[in-house]
Amino acid sequence: MTTKGPASKCPVLTTGEGAPIARQHALTAGPRGPVLMQDAQLLEQMQRFNRERIPERVVHAKGSGAYGTFTVTHDITRFTKASIFSKVGKKTECFARLSTVAGERGAADAERDVRGFAVKFYTDEGNWDMVGNNTPVFFVRDPYKFANFIHTQKREPASNLRCNDMQWDFWSQCPESLHQVTILFSDRGIPATLRNMNGYSSHTYSFINAAGERFWCKFHFKTNQGIKNLSCEESAELIGRDRESHQRDLFGAIERGEFPCWTLKVQIMTQAQADEWSLRTGWNPFDLTKVWPHADFPLIEVGRMELNRNPENYFAEVEQAAFKPSALVPGISSSPDKMLQARLMSYADTHMYRVGVNHHQIPVNKPRCPVMHYMRDGEGATAETYASAPNYWPNTRAGTPMPDENFLDPAWDLGQAVVDRYDSTQDHDDFTQAGNLYRMFDDAHRDRLTTRIAGALGDARQEIQKRQLCHFFRADEDYGKRIAKKLGIDIEAAMAGHHAAAGA
């Protein structure tokens, strides 16, 4: 059977090299085959198909993305010289990717999980990536535990199943996770949509102002759509009929012109306040498992982020989007947070593996300001940026990029720091803030929280259940008692364990 030429007005189909294609049928010796090796057109199509996937993100594999605009509404130039915040009314283009953490690329959207909240701001002094979550804290504070923790959230090696025993085995031995575990099993554990959740930097960063003063800061993106969540029953019903519910909701809302927006607020801490607060509370301002209470460090309003444009191609723009906390700009810098320090390396590294060493040259990742450096070549390099410019420094060629002392960060005084491998579980209060959160919940919320926890913890071995129960008791006696009761564990015996542990 022959096929007629292309319908009028349609562009002509071509090969990857742009050569016109006459027919999309395999080239065969006779109508029944075999296929000829010389059918380069067919071979190209099959080879390209084999290479369609890039490695899936180990975490945050399933995500939804959209472009938007960030507008400054309040002046914070006393804290930072970052060009994005330089003037009230200033607008900066951004791209956000909101994701689940544990599920693979095909996992359902409406599962109980932390959500990633990553935003790339294309500032005129480079890309600033704010790579946070929808929770203000994280499960661990020592980066050594990160890969281990993620293994417990993924699949058990033999069965390839998610495994509650594995998760609680880890959590019960890492009491610093209790705060985040409480949030995860609270009503905020399953956002109704990606539009109805907050975003947090979680980490402490630093702001640097024009006078070279450093302030510690945390970023909060408060949803203007209001917080809305799904119950376990609602999420099960939703997943049964739509595995892509959150992607569908975000994409559809933007298509309809219902642009979701968030108010950006910051908390600020001076070094003197950090010293005083540490002394008073015993908490480390750079500990990722802790919040800074609003009463001590009130939220300061900064601006408004609106998502208003869907990507045209999911793979090119959302899958290849590469966010890294190390993408910082003058006026925004890092902090001693151990987890942040590790992520500064790890995220940049994973993109080099996943998307390639030249991932910055892909349009969604490409800075909107000039890029000038001496790093060159590698897979996927284009000459667009560097052309024939020299590839070494120092050089004496005219017009080549030079470092500028004006962008120097203030020196960082580490005092008498002693280098050692410090145990991140020793001498920490992992219970007060988790208890504060529990005590904020009304009776019905406490009941739902403890029912969910008992449901999941009940799958773990009894020794794990008992170890974990001690943590709940330490956060709040009522928290422990309710879970013990729902697990069918003798409360008196569990309390005896608690008192023994507290006295240890």
Which contiguous run of DSSP H or E holds residue 69? strand 63-72
Measured at the CA of 278, the angle between CA 220 and CA 265, to 5 degrees, comes to 15
- Whole-angstrom Cα distance, residue 200 to residue 130? 9
* Beta strand segments in 209-280, E: 214-223, 261-269
- Using the rule CB under 6 A, which residue among 81, 120, 188, 203 binds ligand NDP? 188
| 183 or 484: CB nearest ligand NDP | 183
Residue 184 contacts ligand NDP per CB under 6 A: no
- Min dist. Cβ of residue 118 to ligand NDP (A): 18
Let me know if 402 is exposed, middle or buried by CB neighbors in 10 A (0-12, 13-18, 19+): exposed
- Min dist. Cβ of residue 448 to ligand NDP (A): 10
Q: State phi, psi for 218 to the nearest 5 degrees.
A: -130, 145
Residue 124 contacts ligand NDP per CB under 6 A: no
Long-range contacts of range 27-32, CB-CB < 8 Å, 24 or more positions apart? none
Q: Which stretch binds ligand NDP (CB under 6 A): 88-96, 110-118, 186-194, 254-262?
A: 186-194
Give the residue among 265, 264, 199 at the shortest CA–CA distance from 227: 199
| Residue among 25, 50, 60, 127 flagged as catalytic | 60
Show contacts with ligand NDP in window 205-224 (CB under 6 A).
Answer: 222
- Min dist. Cβ of residue 200 to ligand NDP (A): 7
Let me know if 287 is exposed, middle or buried by CB neighbors in 10 A (0-12, 13-18, 19+): buried
Question: What is the per-residue binding string for ligand NDP in 378-417, x denoting contact by CB under 6 A?
Answer: ----------------------------------------
Lookup: tokens for 20: 């016109």
179 in active site: no
Residue 284 contacts ligand NDP per CB under 6 A: no
Show contacts with ligand NDP in window 127-146 (CB under 6 A).
Answer: 136
- Whole-angstrom Cα distance, residue 500 to residue 504? 6
358 in active site: no
- Min dist. Cβ of residue 206 to ligand NDP (A): 17
| 222 or 366: CB nearest ligand NDP | 222
Q: Which stretch binds ligand NDP (CB under 6 A): 76-84, 105-113, 180-188, 407-415?
A: 180-188
- Using the rule CB under 6 A, which residue among 86, 198, 289, 365 binds ligand NDP? 198
- Min dist. Cβ of residue 254 to ligand NDP (A): 23
Residue 433 contacts ligand NDP per CB under 6 A: yes
Question: What is the per-residue binding string for ligand NDP in 434-473, x denoting contact by CB under 6 A?
Answer: --xx--x---------------------------------
| Residue among 127, 133, 134, 358 flagged as catalytic | 133
405 to 210, 330, 402, 409, 455: CA distances (angstroms): 13, 12, 10, 9, 58
Helix, strand, coil shares of the chain as percentages rounded to 5?
35, 15, 50
**Residue 119's beta-bridge partner residues?**
96, 130
User: What's the 3-state SS for 456-494?
Assistant: HHCCCCHHHHHHHHHHHHHHCHHHHHHHHHHHCCCHHHH
Asked whether the beta carbons of 221 and 151 are under 8 A apart, the reply is no
- Whole-angstrom Cα distance, residue 487 to residue 63? 35
- Min dist. Cβ of residue 472 to ligand NDP (A): 15
Residue 183 contacts ligand NDP per CB under 6 A: yes
Number of residues that bind ligand NDP (CB under 6 A): 17
- Min dist. Cβ of residue 188 to ligand NDP (A): 4
Residue 114 contacts ligand NDP per CB under 6 A: no
- Using the rule CB under 6 A, which residue among 186, 204, 284, 450 binds ligand NDP? 186
- Whole-angstrom Cα distance, residue 230 to residue 133? 18
Give the residue among 298, 225, 241, 307 at the shortest CA–CA distance from 266: 298
| 139 or 347: CB nearest ligand NDP | 139
Residue 187 contacts ligand NDP per CB under 6 A: yes
| 122 or 297: CB nearest ligand NDP | 297
Show contacts with ligand NDP in window 285-314 (CB under 6 A).
Answer: 291-295
| 86 or 180: CB nearest ligand NDP | 180
Q: Which stretch binds ligand NDP (CB under 6 A): 94-102, 163-171, 181-189, 207-215?
A: 181-189
Peptide bond into 394 cis (omega under 30): yes
Asked whether the beta carbons of 70 and 303 are under 8 A apart, the reply is yes
- Min dist. Cβ of residue 457 to ligand NDP (A): 18
Residues contributing to the site for ligand NDP (CB under 6 A):
136, 183, 186-188, 198, 222, 227, 291-295, 433, 436-437, 440
Catalytic residues: 60, 133
